[in-house]
Amino acid sequence: MTFEYLSTPIDSESAERLAQKKLRLALVDTADTAEFTAWIDSESRGFHAPRPNKKSMEIQLGLTDRRTTGVWDTTAADPESPVATVSSWTSELTVPGSTSVPAWAISAVTVAPTHRRQGVARALLEAELRTANSLGVPVAMLTVSEATIYSRYGFSPAAMMADWTINANRAKWVGPESSGRVHFVSLETLRRDGLALVERVRLETPGQIEFSGHLWNRLTGVVGDTDVASKLRAVIYTDTAGEVQGFAIYTVSETESNFDAHTLDLNYLVAATDDAYAGLWRYLLEMDLVGKIRAPLRSVTEPIAWQIADFRAARKTRDRDHLWTRILDVKAALEGRRYVAPGTFVLNVADPLGFAEGRFLLEINPDGRAHVTALDAGAAGSAGAAGSGSSAPAGAPSDTVVDDAAEVSLTVNELSSLYLGGVSAVTLARAGRITAHTPGAVIMLDAAFRSPTAPWLSIWF
């Protein structure tokens, strides 16, 4: 992988806008320990997290493969500590059709309470989008802590998540008999070997991303809460040939009032086969002294609900948005995925920031591949116009007629939600977010974009 984004100059438009407020937008010199440490401390403060301990700080100081950006106020009492932070990098995003596209991952977005409502977040996010666009990255993505901020920049929910709680005493296993074995392994062994399995199965589920480094270290307990890390247990599942086909990471905590009703918290489970999935889940469900399993950040369509005797023993305690995407290049993004139904569509896309603005012809072949043509000169050309915009549907189409095409108008927000195939075009149309200009256009659009596998991202970033 190349890291061209590390040396790309800071966005001049946002830098000039902040300079008018006596604020400095700049890249962090991650080779400067003092400067990078101050940025990490500010980022932790922004999320109300404790200061990183020595080991965690050392690991985070090694994150030199990310584009690390800050905003400084030279008039502040502590001018060396940034008052806003953002981190970004390119990663492969899985899209429908067992393939992936490059995506601009945005993380660590914070603005100090002392500098709210000064346009700092807007400057940061628009700078990120312009930078990604200049590098030819077709999609931006983030996992959000606040759902009210990012839609104004064209982001929209595309992959959902659910927290599951399972009553282990009621959830008797009725699923298939697995043919392999479950083995305990050390976290060190899993840390060394497990990531290859994660990457091997990544293309099966839209919404998953390519990850390693800090995200993998956090998942396996190298960084983060040291108390939790000390309790982590890891198991792998091997098939009859002895090949590893899955693993799980979890903790077990005692319930004060009942020693034989511990709570098992499932931190992560990945399976390359249905056999491995069944084997790992049965192992967890039948563990001695465990009365409840909590499994956060799982798919909204977990098969486990259909593998237990009491369907109501497994319930979703939270079902919400997780991965938000933002299309920057309509042609590259839509041609990068596959579709389940052929069709010809005209998409009138409104984008107040200009990146995806335009009228596009989307032609989907019977093999699921697509070709996109810009139907007007302004399509996807005026990227970077300032403005916050709204999520109202785009206006009426132009006079250009494309025979036999299903035509709709929508904003980049709706197109970004549809992109991974987990959000219904019919639902968005009923909500007033998509306007059809030809009969049946929304139903045809829904059929083409829908993914057979529910989009899901198994981590935070």
Could you tell me if 147 and 85 lie in one domain?
A: yes
Could you tell me if 393 and 255 lie in one domain?
A: no
Mean pLDDT, rounded, for 380-384:
49
Domain presence at residue 459: no
Could you tell me if 341 and 290 lie in one domain?
A: no
Neighbour-count burial for 203-239, b at 16+ CB within 10 Å, e otherwise = bebbbbbbbeebbebbbbbbbbeeeeeeebebbbbbb
Could you tell me if 194 and 77 lie in one domain?
A: no
Q: Which of 396, 371, 422, 403 is nearest to 95 (CA)?
A: 422
In the chain, the number of structural domains is 3
Mean pLDDT, rounded, for 103-124:
97
Domain presence at residue 460: no
Q: Using one digit for the tens of pLDDT, what is the confidence trace for 318-342?
A: 999 999 999 999 999 999 999 999 9
Neighbour-count burial for 240-278, b at 16+ CB within 10 Å, e otherwise = eeeebbbbbbbbeeeeeeeeeebbbbbbbbbbbbebbbb
Task: State the pLDDT at residue 2.
Answer: 61
pLDDT higher than 80, residue 123: yes
Q: Can you point out the beta strands (E) in 97-168?
A: 99-111, 139-143, 156-167
Question: Are 100 and 93 a contacting pair, CB within 8 Å?
Answer: yes
Which H or E run includes 191? helix 187-201
- The secondary structure of 16-28 as a DSSP string is HHHHTTTEEEEE-
Task: State the pLDDT at residue 390.
Answer: 40
Mean pLDDT, rounded, for 395-407:
76
Task: State the pLDDT at residue 403.
Answer: 86
Mean pLDDT, rounded, for 269-275:
98
Q: Using one digit for the tens of pLDDT, what is the confidence trace for 43-81?
A: 999 999 999 888 889 888 988 899 999 999 999 999 999
Q: Which of 20, 26, 87 is nearest to 60 (CA)?
A: 87
Q: Using one digit for the tens of pLDDT, what is the confidence trace for 135-177?
A: 999 999 999 988 889 999 999 999 999 999 999 999 999 999 9
Could you tell me if 341 and 395 lie in one domain?
A: yes
Structure tokens at 148: 């009210």
pLDDT higher than 80, residue 408: yes
Domain presence at residue 454: no
The phi-psi region of residue 397 (left if phi > 0; otherwise alpha if psi is between -120 and 50; otherwise beta) is beta
CB atoms within 10 A of CB 323: 28
Task: State the pLDDT at residue 387.
Answer: 42
Structure tokens at 312: 């109501």
Could you tell me if 34 and 126 lie in one domain?
A: yes
Q: How far apart are CA 451 and CA 461, in angstroms?
A: 23
Task: State the pLDDT at residue 230.
Answer: 87
Q: Using one digit for the tens of pLDDT, what is the confidence trace for 411-451?
A: 999 999 999 999 999 999 999 999 999 999 999 999 999 99
Question: Are 318 and 163 a contacting pair, CB within 8 Å?
Answer: yes
Q: Is 198 exposed, middle or buried (0-12, 13-18, 19+ CB in 10 A)?
A: buried
Task: State the pLDDT at residue 224.
Answer: 64
Could you tell me if 440 and 357 lie in one domain?
A: yes
Task: State the pLDDT at residue 306.
Answer: 98
Residue 117, domain CATH: 3.40.630.30
Q: How far apart are CA 389 and CA 430, in angstroms?
A: 21
Percent of the chain with pLDDT over 70: 93
Task: State the pLDDT at residue 286.
Answer: 97
Structure tokens at 58: 């050392």
Q: How far apart are CA 273 and CA 263, in angstroms?
A: 27
pLDDT higher than 80, residue 373: yes
Residue 336, domain CATH: 3.30.1050.10
Mean pLDDT, rounded, for 27-32:
96
Stated pTM of the model:
0.92
Task: State the pLDDT at residue 134.
Answer: 97
Domain encompassing residue 24: 4-154
Which H or E run includes 73? strand 67-73
- The secondary structure of 333-393 as a DSSP string is HHHHS--SS-EEEEEEEE-TTSSS-EEEEEEE-TTS-EEEEE-STTTTTSTT-------PP
Question: Are 432 and 425 a contacting pair, CB within 8 Å?
Answer: no
Domain presence at residue 292: yes
Which H or E run includes 268? strand 258-271
Could you tell me if 173 and 307 lie in one domain?
A: yes
Could you tell me if 179 and 294 lie in one domain?
A: yes
CB atoms within 10 A of CB 457: 25
Task: State the pLDDT at residue 260.
Answer: 81
Question: Are 114 and 83 a contacting pair, CB within 8 Å?
Answer: yes
pLDDT higher than 80, residue 297: yes
Q: Using one digit for the tens of pLDDT, what is the confidence trace for 199-230?
A: 999 999 999 999 998 899 899 988 766 677 88
Could you tell me if 257 and 386 lie in one domain?
A: no
pLDDT higher than 60, residue 24: yes
Which H or E run includes 258? strand 258-271
Question: Are 186 and 435 a contacting pair, CB within 8 Å?
Answer: no
Q: Which amino acid is at 118?
A: Q
Q: Last residue of some domain: 322, 350, 380?
A: 322
The phi-psi region of residue 294 (left if phi > 0; otherwise alpha if psi is between -120 and 50; otherwise beta) is beta
Could you tell me if 131 and 193 lie in one domain?
A: no
Q: Last residue of some domain: 134, 154, 174?
A: 154
Quick check: helix, strand or coil at residue 433? coil
Domain presence at residue 456: no
Domain presence at residue 37: yes
Supply the mean pLDDT for the chain: 93
Q: Last residue of some domain: 117, 134, 154?
A: 154
pLDDT higher than 50, residue 384: no
Domain presence at residue 220: yes
Domain presence at residue 461: no
pLDDT higher than 80, residue 399: no
Quick check: helix, strand or coil at residue 235? strand
Residue that is written with structure tokens 């009859």 in the block: 240
Could you tell me if 356 and 443 lie in one domain?
A: yes
